[in-house]
Structure 1
């Protein structure tokens, strides 16, 4: 039985076997109180190990980090903070941990734990984060399954740049010390494995659209990659994206689905991860108090989650958002770091003002200027804006980006030419507008951003098991 199951039992002197890793050990050589955790729950179980029953030399060997099994009686605990404990009859040591074990029972910085990412799962914080991540992941699949979507596995290796930003990792089997060259000195990719230049995908959206224009409703949920040389708390080089695509959806249905989706998955995490979120809420509160006054969150973690689930999202156009920001106190008092004017991309400070101060609820902004959005977005009749949408959350700003997709072949070809994409590189994408085109829409949500929001972790590197960032590919 796992520890989470044992902790639910009524203590009646029944025999149990507890297996796990030692978090702490206190007491004498003849009587030790050992806290064990097997990762199934935030809570440890205490084993009382007495030298009258267990060899004192074995007790002495047990230290933080060791892996052991304890066989004994489950009894009511007289100690505070625990309802049951195990009185050991025997122990088995699976693996000892020597004095160099770095995860000791004291506070470690998150920076230090990133250097020990192979061991940080054993801390309470990271155990909680990755259990929450699991339930969020499960809820994603559950939501789309219940809504009649089909899970489509889009390729990781691609010859197209869905975002048009060019920040992609190359994929090749060339010997880099002996690259085949053309007469002009450029690399001859015709001799490469795929016969052309290929990269790791930045998005499964374009391929997802192909599936939606036959299966009606699909979603992708897989790894994506960006070679962006950014060392911020919000960026990773390898991360997971959730990207639904829906035929016969226009912008309104797209917004409705996005709102329904995030409320559902966050609600599922709140329902199934109560103990972990209570722990993370307390941690968030402690971290918040240590921040300068002007950087503190006005809401606790659980308050923020309730705030999203319980409120109808405000819906405004980009033009309305700019007007609100221009008339805001921070703008008039020149407190915004970035400029506010029609045509600029909104920054996190602008998005957070709209959510946290002005509307005091999540916000969906629509109809952005065409010039700052991707080529595939549906062009509005004003020829200035596109049918785009961004969903903004407290504390984090944009969490979802999406749009109705351009289904008019000629408009799409014109836009592709404007942004400098070669038609022949996306011929297959264009053909879907040639053979039975249909209105369709979709959105993308960076899964780590969602996990970061739900767990209250300040750095995105702490919500993925092994973060990949510039200069860091350890583990």
Structure 2
């Protein structure tokens, strides 16, 4: 299906080269305001210059551009109104902003005659991009190209150091790891708040001033303040995130505060970049995103570890109990599901795969990316009750296509964060996992290896290692087995294991000709083990029906899934990737509870 590539043991999934960081999204941002102008003023017959859509220059989504691009000039003509992009100026609190097209107004008499609301009442202004510290310090010269510019910075105080002549505030706004040092002298408006002790760690502030070259060695630039404003105070005696090192276990108890730490700020930015790169990878290759349902009546994995969604137990936000006699039940004493909201048992989804298959058999290549839930009573560093899954489905594809897509995707997102999150990745390399950048570079550049499950078991049986879980053919490989293969045997190279015993895999996986194994694959990586699990789906109706019966599943619940095989069935394949495990892999964070903003685990649903 896809062209062969040297060094790969399966078909290479065709991919575009990694797009540069400075991607232009002119079509999206230009179309919206122009369309709005036409909607609100259809009677004015406003003429829009064709040049309007070609002169817009967008800043990058997460990186700082050179000064010439940071302040783009563009012209948009709507009827006789002329708008030009603004430069850094002292107007509007000295915030860097872009001028968007104005909306032509109609006369008041016309509005009254037509019974319309005057256009002046419709205007709500344009959204203005806030100047971020990443915009100032994220360029190749780390802000030196902006020296002398007037600006306003808003953020939270990390440290406050007072000397005889000046006070130094380290301010961070979350856009990057770096703080911006602000110099506050007695001449600055608002300096009295520092003398009064109102400015302390954790307080939110807005600081006006001009950028100067720093005399210190820790940063290239700093802000010489002319005005200091306190937005929200912070009691230094009780502020929970002080400069001292806090354990991650403790930070989980204050999850509402942990994003303010360096570690969790960096994890959040890398997680965001991975999500963006995921959508970009699939969208660039023609995949269509499908919103799979959160509430479902199906169990994709057939494991039965699902959260039930019901209204049979009365809703309550108070600490009260419901007598068991008041819950609707049948004569046999069983729950009467006919009285429930959906009229039948319903659950939180464990996977969006089955729903994605519906759309893959109509739209060809699709993917889902959303939350999933497992009621698995497991307190490990690898399990969550709520987590996010990426699940693509490829029509007219087999297992080789599936492996090619999975490996190409993984290499793409790894390259993306190495390029776009350099500062955060250097932080992880220094403080979380030494050598993580080199490890990820290996993943991005090395050819992945492939072996069968049977070969993997043979290797493990010959290993001179005492595994906690004994190895035999037919067992499910544990994390210790997977890590041994990737870290010891294949020396850090990602590994794809294929053709697992059908007895340990899900009902929907295509059976191989031997009758004992299925066309399944797991992509294993160092430190994590299984990162991606996928398979070719069983497209043969008779084989699928027999497999459902063998596993004792309720055939009636899958009537619609079987219909996909009755009407225009095609070979198709897909995989699932636990997004939090990808975040773990990319950041070196050893506990999955620290790879998601608000972890949901047995006995814990705070925040």
Structure 1 position 340 matched with structure 2 position 471: yes
In the alignment, the residues of structure 2 paired with residue 350 and residue 235 of structure 1 have an alpha-carbon distance, to the nearest angstrom, of: 17
Shift in Å at residue 55 of structure 1? 4.8
Counterpart in the other structure of 1:350:
481
- 2:161 aligns with 26
CA positional deviation for 1:213: 0.9
Q: Could you tell which deviates more after superposition, 408-417 or 387-396? A: 408-417
Q: Distance in 2 between matches of 1:439 and 1:133?
A: 33
SS at match of 2:534: strand
1:147-175 deviation line (CA, Å, top 9, x unaligned) = 11110111100001111111111111223
1:25-74 alpha-carbon deviations (Å, 9 max, x no partner): 11247631110000111100001112243455301211100000111121
Alignment match, 1:321: 456
Q: Aligned Cα RMSD in Å?
A: 1.3
Tell me, what secondary structure is at the counterpart of 1:367? strand
From 219, 224, 245, the equivalent of 1:107 is 245
Residue of 149, 154, 157 corresponding to 2:295: 157
Distance in 1 between the 2:251 and 2:307 partners?
A: 27
Alignment-derived partner of residue 296 in structure 1: none
Deviations 1:346-403 (CA, angstroms, capped at 9, x unpaired): 1111111111111221100000001111111100111110000000000110000010
Q: Which has the higher strand share?
A: 1
Whether the aligned pair in 1 keeps the contact of 2:153 and 2:208 (CA below 8 Å) is yes
SS at 2:432's partner residue? helix
Per-residue CA deviation, residues 164-221 of structure 1 (Å, 9 max, x unaligned), is: 1111111112234322111111111111111100000000011111111111111000
2:225 aligns with: 88
The worse-fitting range, judged by mean Cα deviation, of 51-60 and 41-50 is: 51-60
| Deviation for aligned residue 1:340 | 1.3
- Which of 67, 70, 92 aligns to 2:207? It is 70
Match of 2:188 among 53, 73, 78: 53
2:227 match: secondary structure: strand
Secondary structure of 2:153's match? strand
Q: CA deviation at 1:88?
A: 1.4
- 1: CA distance between counterparts of 2:472 and 2:588? 32
SS of equivalent to 2:601? coil
Q: Is 2:323 aligned against 1:188? A: no
Match runs of 1:24-423 below 5 Å = 24-28=159-163, 31-59=166-194, 60-98=197-235, 99-176=237-314, 177=322, 178-285=326-433, 300-330=435-465, 335-360=466-491, 361-423=493-555
Aligned-partner Cα distance in 2 for 1:5–1:437? 51
1:466 to 598, 602, 607: 598
C-alpha separation in 2, matches of 1:238 and 1:340: 30
Q: Secondary structure at the match of 2:243?
A: coil
State which of 411, 414, 424 in structure 1 corresponds to 2:556.
424
2:132 equivalent in structure 1: 2
Question: How far apart, in 2, do the equivalents of 1:137 and 1:12 lie?
Answer: 34
- Secondary structure, in 3 states, of the residue corresponding to 2:273? helix
| CA distance 1:375–1:13, change in 2 (3 Å) | same
Confirm or deny: 8 A CA contact 2:191 2:228 kept in the other structure: no
Aligned length: 458
Deviation at 1:4, TM superposition (A): 1.2
C-alpha distance in structure 2 between counterparts of 1:12 and 1:350, whole Å: 55
What TM-score does the superposition give when structure 1 sets the normalisation length?
A: 0.94
The answer for unaligned runs of 5 or more in structure 2 is 1-130, 315-321
SS state of the match for residue 156, structure 2? strand
Q: Runs of 4 or more off by more than 6 Å in structure 1?
A: none
**Is 1:29–1:51's contact at 8 Å kept on the other side of the alignment?**
no
Q: Which residue of 1 aligns with 2:9?
A: none
The 8 Å contact of residues 13 and 74 in structure 1, kept in 2 or not, is answered as yes
Contact 1:42 1:124 in 2 (8 A): yes
Does the CA contact (< 8 Å) of 1:11 and 1:76 recur in 2? no
The CA deviation string for residues 102-159 of structure 1, in whole angstroms up to 9 with x for no partner, is 0111211111111111111111111111011111000111010111111011110000
Supply the distance in 2 between the matched residues of 1:188 and 1:12 (Cα, whole angstroms).
Answer: 71
2:396, 2:146 → 1: CA distance? 57
**Residues 162 and 206 of structure 1 are in contact (CA less than 8 Å); yes or no, is this contact kept in structure 2?**
yes
User: Retained in 2: the 8 A contact 1:33–1:49?
Assistant: yes
The answer to whether the 8 Å contact 2:146/2:211 transfers is yes
8 Å contact kept, 1:34–1:47: yes
